[in-house]
Structure formats: structure tokens, C-alpha cells
Amino acid sequence: MNALKKEVEQKVEAAATQSTAPTADSAIDISLPGIRRPIGAEHPIIRTQNEIISVFRNLGYSVAEGPVIETDYYNFEALNFPPNHPARDTQDTLFLANQDAKAPRERLLLRTHTSPVQIRTMEKLAPPLRILVPGKVHRNDPPDASHSPMFHQVEGLAVDTNITFGDLKGTLDHAMKALFGSSVKTGFRPSFFPFTEPSAEMFVSCFICGGSGKRGEDNAPCRPCKQTGWIEILGCGMVDPNVFESVKQNGYDPEKISGFAFGMGVDRIAMLKYGLDDLQLFFQGDVRFLEQFG
């Protein structure tokens, strides 16, 4: 036992002297540069989102954010989707599990659009209001080149006395020219959303082919605009008076005020801007893809 004890003690001593007194070979050369960490790059979706935000910030909009896990009330009911409204089906909502004991309006879901933040902000702030709402949204879509169960929206809301459809057109026309270049033209087509009336889809002339539908010297068909010369870029409309009803007590009397709202898909705009044909590239975390934006 004593022999063993001696051996262990010697080994411990040897190890201790080695670590405290390095030899010339193992010494740290303090003149060498340290380990550099790569700085990284802004993700193309965040970059696009920030570009959109800065355009509207210059128009006096402020940024509002809200929870990604929402109640049925904020995601649907307050936005004029009554129970059993067919529009609820079209959104293919992802609900949280085990909530059968709760009242339907309190059931939790992953928000399908950023519009719940309209209601949450109007509950807190009296009109006039100009907000921009960026954020993640979820829908039950299997991932492919143009779909993802998680994607990004930027939504806008302006409320004041005497806001008209002319204000909506002027604001969005200015914003599209600021985002895609002063030569783009804009157009509107009637549409339907439960929370706006009237509603419209907005188109911009294709900034890739200049609106001709053809590209390059050999007149190849322009894919992003499907050779039409126009790209559908966002949905918009005048806020439905029923939406104001749910926040009426905070100064939003639909008899006295009006407003417009719009929403766009950040991922799709980023794809158009950077000429990508596969949405999944944004979410795979492949550094070889992402470092190109550094």
C-alpha cells in the first residue's frame, strides 16, 4: 500500500510541476493573434424586413410587436372572422393541443397573420395611429419551394379622421417606389379579406423584366412575373367598421374615424429581390448560402 501511495504522490507532483512551469516548447506565444470569430451577416429576411420598416418609418410609422402564440379572439374574432366563417378554414391554423376545456375564443394557436397586433395596439393607444407590425406567422403548409409552415409578414395600419382609399394608394405607391425603384408602376385589383372593406390586391410592374414579361437578348420568358409584367405584392384595404367595434371604447368609433391596413410577405419579397427560386434556402441555416449576404 505504501509503495502504491508513493507512486501516486510522485505522479501528482510531476503533473503539478508540469502545468505550473511550462517548458520553452509548450509556452503560449502571446505575440500571436487571437482566435478570430466570424462576425456573421444579417439574414436576408431580416435585412428585407428592416428595409421595409425604414421606408415606413420615414412616413411616421412606429413599430409594434405582439405574441406569436395568440388566442382565437385576437387572431380571428376581433378581426371580423365570426365562428365558422369560411375564411378560418382557408388559413389552415395550427392550434395548441389539449385546450378543449377552454372557451373557443380563449384557445391558443400560432398566429396565422400579424393582424392580431392591430387589435392589441388599438386597445392600448387611442387614435390617431400609424404602426408597422413585423413578425413570424405560422400556417399548416408543408414546406416546398414556395411554402413554409413558418414565414414572415409586415403589416401596416393607419387610423385617423378622414383617412380615405386615396391615402392608402398614395402611401403604398410611394412605399413600392422606395423599395423597388422609382420607375415601378402600381395597380390595384378588388379582393376580399374579412377585416377590410373594400379590399384590394396590389401589383407592382415587374422590376426584373421592366414590365415587358421578357428577359435578356434572347427574350427569355420572365418567370417571377409569369410573363405578365406584373407581380402581386400585397393585400390591403380600408379597415372594416366591425374591427373598430371591438376597440370602440378606446376612441375608435367607426362613425368618427377611418383607417387602412396592408400586409406583405417578407420572404417572398426577399426571394424576388435576391432572385431566389427556393424559399427553403432561407431556413436551412447553410452558412455557404448565408455568407453571400455578408
Closer of 178 and 208 to Zn ion (Cβ) = 208
Residue 130 Cβ vs Zn ion, minimum distance, rounded to whole Å: 32
Asked if residue 186 lies in contact with residue 202, where contact means CB atoms within 8 angstroms, the answer is yes
3-class DSSP assignment, residue 222:
coil
Interface residues toward Zn ion, by CB under 5 A: 206, 208-209, 222, 225
Q: What minimum distance in Å lies between the beta carbon of 222 and Zn ion?
A: 3
Nearer to Zn ion, 168 or 184 (CB): 184
Helix (H) or strand (E) holding 73: helix 72-75
Handedness of CA 83, 88, 92, 95 (dihedral sign): negative
Cα gap 65→271, rounded to integer Å: 24
Interatomic CA distance for residues 153 and 269, integer angstroms = 10
For residue 109, what is the enclosing H or E element?
strand 108-110
Nearer to Zn ion, 122 or 206 (CB): 206
Name the minimum Å distance from CB 146 to Zn ion: 16
Say how many C-beta atoms besides its own lie within 10 A of residue 258's C-beta.
20
CB of 279 to Zn ion, least distance (A): 19
Name which of 103 and 220 has its Cβ closer to Zn ion: 220
> What's the closest the beta carbon of residue 213 comes to Zn ion, in angstroms?
6
Nearer CB in complex with Zn ion: 117/225: 225
